[in-house]
């Protein structure tokens, strides 16, 4: 049986942000596998500091990793988390989600979960990674957010046990992460590309204010996005992917 990397779980009824707490603890040398989970966040945020609604009923947690990797390899962490979430949703709830590069989990085109990975770098080596996960489980999604997101309760038509989803994630991610440390990211590429959203579809990649249009060809063994454009194959280490909607 593979080791569970998660060594300590800190639980809060309410917190400003599990991600902020994880980064603070990481700076104070808390061990790899420390998890912070809250019933509610008052300042929850996602990638590029976008606001993340984090009310009671959802699953909001962050954890500390200390992989011996270089700065340009950090982009491989979010796909590993996405792969674990995809497996949990299929195993526990019998639903097939899609992984949207770089950090979302979709069901029928709507966001179910989001991922964030933040880290400091020292001489091109990663000191630690604070990884955050937000899952819409039973929380109510109001207003415009309902157009782009949905909860597991919405999908299944019944209350979902958040603790079961949480514990299942800890197990699945532990196995994936340990395989990653042993064999590298390349062993996950084929599976990721089978589960990724918008594969072989025309998309727009926005990166640093620039937009590139092309056909999404998945990711390579370094977790770079591959985009086939009219000028040839382009690789992206970061950016935002959206379906292409002609004017």
Mean pLDDT of 18-42: 94
Residue whose structure tokens are 């909607």: 245
Q: What pTM was estimated for this model as a whole? A: 0.93
Please give the domain boundaries of the chain with CATH numbers for all domains.
8-194 (3.30.930.10), 198-243 (2.30.30.100)
pLDDT at 1: 42
Helix (H, G, I), strand (E, B) or coil at 95: coil
pLDDT digits (tens, 9 = 90+) for 159-188: 999 999 999 999 999 999 999 999 999 999
pLDDT at 113: 95
Radius of gyration of the chain (CA): 17
pLDDT digits (tens, 9 = 90+) for 178-214: 999 999 999 999 999 999 999 999 999 998 889 999 9
d(CA 204, CA 181) in angstroms, rounded, equals 32
pLDDT digits (tens, 9 = 90+) for 209-230: 899 999 999 999 999 999 999 9
pLDDT at 203: 97
The angle formed by the CA atoms of residues 22, 27 and 30, to the nearest 5 degrees, is: 65
pLDDT at 4: 87
pLDDT at 44: 64
Residue-by-residue DSSP string for 102-169: TTEEEETTEEEEEEEEE--EETTEE--EEEEEEE-SS----GGGGGTB--HHHHHSS---HHHHHHHH
Categorize the per-residue pLDDT at 144 as very low, low, confident or very high, splitting at 50, 70 and 90: confident
Categorize the per-residue pLDDT at 87 as very low, low, confident or very high, splitting at 50, 70 and 90: very high
Categorize the per-residue pLDDT at 45 as very low, low, confident or very high, splitting at 50, 70 and 90: low
């Amino acid at each position: 049986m593979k080791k569970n990397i998660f060594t300590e779980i800190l639980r809060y009824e309410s917190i400003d942000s599990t991600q902020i707490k994880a980064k603070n603890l990481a700076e104070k040398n808390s061990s790899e596998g420390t998890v912070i989970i809250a019933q509610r966040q008052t300042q929850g945020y996602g990638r590029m500091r976008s606001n993340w609604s984090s009310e009671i009923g959802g699953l909001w947690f962050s954890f500390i990793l200390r992989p011996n990797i270089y700065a340009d390899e950090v982009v491989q962490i979010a796909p590993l988390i996405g792969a674990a979430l995809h497996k949990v949703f299929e195993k526990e709830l019998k639903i097939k989600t899609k992984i949207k590069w770089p950090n979302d989990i979709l069901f029928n085109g709507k966001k179910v979960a989001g991922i964030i990975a933040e880290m400091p770098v020292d001489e091109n080596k990663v000191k630690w990674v604070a990884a955050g996960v937000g899952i819409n489980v039973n929380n109510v999604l109001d207003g415009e957010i309902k157009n782009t997101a949905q909860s597991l309760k919405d999908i299944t038509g019944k209350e979902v046990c958040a603790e079961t989803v949480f514990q299942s994630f800890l197990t699945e991610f532990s196995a994936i992460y340990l395989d990653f440390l042993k064999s590298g990211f390349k062993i996950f590429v084929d599976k990721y590309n089978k589960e990724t959203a918008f594969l072989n579809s025309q998309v727009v990649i926005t990166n640093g204010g620039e937009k590139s249009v092309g056909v999404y060809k998945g990711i390579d063994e370094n977790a770079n996005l591959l985009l086939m454009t009219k000028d040839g194959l382009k690789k992206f280490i970061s950016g935002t992917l959206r379906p292409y909607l002609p004017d």
